[in-house]
């Protein structure tokens, strides 16, 4: 389960990077003025990309929290059972 969450997290992060790179730079930080180039279909595309960005950010946040939760619970279970993780000595395979 932990590996699946990590793989999904990587996929969501790559999708987020792609969606952010596709967007046109709006400039000016938080300004929300009307731009002459955004009419009709272009405006709808910009809205879709903005919504996709927010959904992917939320999904990435949730997946990171789940991953941290699984990691912490696994560490706690190992400590309860007295299992210690030892690094392999030099020249030995894990």
**pLDDT tens-digit map of 23-42:** 877 654 444 555 555 455 66
Evaluate if pTM is beyond 0.95.
no
Report the C-alpha gap between 32 and 47 in whole angstroms. Answer: 13
Report the C-alpha gap between 74 and 7 in whole angstroms. Answer: 18
Position 29 scores a pLDDT of 46
Spatial neighbors of 24 by CB under 8 A, at least 6 apart, are: 46
């Amino acid at each position: 389960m932990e590996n699946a969450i990590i793989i999904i997290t990587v996929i969501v992060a790559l999708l987020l990077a792609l969606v952010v790179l596709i967007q046109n730079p709006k400039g000016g930080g938080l300004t929300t003025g009307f731009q002459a180039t955004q009419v009709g279909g272009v405006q709808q595309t910009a809205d879709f990309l903005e919504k996709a960005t927010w959904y992917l950010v939320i999904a990435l946040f949730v997946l990171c929290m789940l991953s941290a939760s699984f990691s912490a619970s696994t560490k706690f279970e190992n400590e309860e059972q007295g299992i210690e993780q030892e690094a392999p000595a030099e020249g030995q395979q894990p």
